[in-house]
Chain A
Amino acid sequence: MKLVDEYRDPAVARYLLEQIRELCDGPLNIMEICGGHTHSIVRSGMEQVLPPTIKFVHGPGCPVCVTPTAKIDQAIALARRPRTIIATYGDMMRVPGSSSSLLQEKAKGAHVKIVYSSLDAVRLAVENPDSEVVFFAVGFETTIPANGLSVIRAKQLGLTNYSMLSNHVLVPPVIRAVLDDPAVRIDAFLGPGHVSTIVGSQDYEFIPAEYHRPVVISGFEPNDILESLFMILKQRREGRCEVEVQYSRAVTKYGNPRALDVVKDVFSPVEQEWRGIGAIAESGLSLREELRAFDAYHKFHDWMPLQRPEEPSECVCGEITRGVKEPRDCASFGTGCTPERPLGACMVSTEGTCAAYYRYQLVTVQTGGVRD
């Protein structure tokens, strides 16, 4: 496949590994922010051939994993409302709320539909004028413009039965929270590739400027990640600390202005609760006040559960999401918690750290790892 296969060439990978080994002169903890990178790193098994002093710390960049239980409970409450259709991305179906999941609700007869695109949710509202359609929308900066456009489209169409229950989260505030957490030790960042296609590389300039950590925005193929590692090591060797872009085929300094305009027109920043991390000021986006008619939380306020649920105590998803613990540190990993019966969100999403380890490195994790 063009523009994919070129970045999987084993000969180039071997070359990059040689260069990395040559430049690596001490311990290096690199946080990959994006769950897509976590997946690619674990799937390729590259940690097993990299110098043992290089350690990936898996970051909070999986939108499904950071969605709080309370939000899932809200979606479930709306799924139980008569004549209501919940439309959502497939990954959200199995995420456990405090007592059920959308998948379990669907099995009991609720109208829960998986959509590929936000515009499919708008189409459901057009096709079902007698029902309320609630799009349960989650996402980082990558997905937020696409979700936002559905509200613009619904407004243009004059729809009164379309609304959005949103859990939109932003990368920079959570990076600050992670860097301010004394339990987390990070020397450099692998910057999120697809988030950056929207926001541009300039969104991370505060990391070297204020926290003195280098950032390399990376593509998602194994050789992209190896080249980014090489670039991080080179910065360290040369005493530089800046934002560099390895994924230059898709990432510019200022991103996609049209997509950013959609975000600005539809959303405004709010305090946001992150599963396992807590509330962070201005780290989320919710619909602007003038678009409240499309905000499911306000539209169906009377249906929202009053009790705040507690996160399951046997699950360490929160610490895993913050990069403090690994799946092997969780007693439930692979036994009490599997992708079929997940306890926490990290096991649900294909981008979740636990799901990636379960799928590709179960044996490695259960035997304590090849490097230990």
Chain B
Amino acid sequence: MMCLAVPGEVLDIDGSIAMVDMAGVKRRVCIDLLAEVHPGDYVLVHVGFALQIIDEQEAQETLKLLRACFQEDLHAAVGSQQEGD
């Protein structure tokens, strides 16, 4: 539990406190450790504090890259099988 941080979406902000939706559970989270945060941002929540904004674009790009490699290999494997047939 101690170093666990869970991603959640910022719903709204009131001063130092943001309401964050973490997989359907809404929690009040202190955002004083972040310079700037907006509703719609995904943040990593740890012991009631938002530690970092998750770079969604970075996340999607990494996933896309991984999936692209995976698909390429899959096609290569299926392709060579067909050739073998």
Contacts and interface: CB of A to CB of B under 8 A. Distances in A.
Contact of A197 (B44, B48, B58): B44
B56 A249 contact: yes
Interface stretch (A41-49, A136-144, A157-165, A232-240): A136-144
A116 B63 contact: no
Contacts of B46: 142-143, 146, 194
Contacts of A248: 55, 58, 62
A116 B69 CA distance: 41
B34 interface: yes
Contacts of B63: 6
Given A35-B2, A89-B1, A349-B2, A262 B58 contact: no
Given A63-B3, A89-B47, A197 B32 contact: no
B35 A64 contact: no
B2 to A, nearest CB: 5
A256 B53 CA distance: 10
Interface string A1-31: 1111010000110010010000000000000
A166 interface: no
B55 A249 contact: yes
Contact of B3 (A249, A257, A351): A351
Contact of B30 (A4, A18, A138, A149): A149
A105 interface: no
A227 B66 CA distance: 9
A117 B30 contact: yes
Given A197-B51, A258-B35, A259-B33, A3 B2 contact: no
A91 B1 CA distance: 7
A58 to B, nearest CB: 14
Given A3-B59, A15-B73, A258-B33, A36 B47 contact: no
A198 B52 CA distance: 8
Nearest to A139: B2
A119 B5 CA distance: 17
Contacts of B32: 149, 258
Nearest to A142: B3
A145 B49 contact: yes
A166 B64 CA distance: 43
B65 to A, nearest CB: 10
A146 B7 contact: no
B58 A118 contact: no
B54 interface: yes
A120 B4 CA distance: 18
B73 A249 contact: no
Given A3-B42, A227-B66, A248-B58, A198 B51 contact: yes
B67 interface: yes
Given A11-B70, A117-B49, A192 B23 contact: no
Interface in A106-134: 116-120
A18 B55 CA distance: 28
Contacts of A351: 1-4
B1 to A, nearest CB: 5
Nearest to A192: B3
A36 B69 contact: no
Nearest to A249: B59
Nearest to B5: A194
Nearest to B48: A117
Given A15-B70, A227-B66, A259-B51, 12 more contacts: A36-B4, A117-B48, A142-B5, A143-B2, A146-B33, A195-B3, A197-B44, A197-B52, A249-B59, A256-B51, A349-B1, A349-B2
10 contacts: A1-B7, A1-B23, A6-B59, A12-B70, A15-B69, A90-B1, A143-B2, A256-B34, A259-B51, A351-B4
Interface of B: 1-5, 7, 9, 23, 30, 32-35, 42, 44, 46-49, 51-52, 54-56, 58-59, 62-63, 66-67, 69-70, 73-74
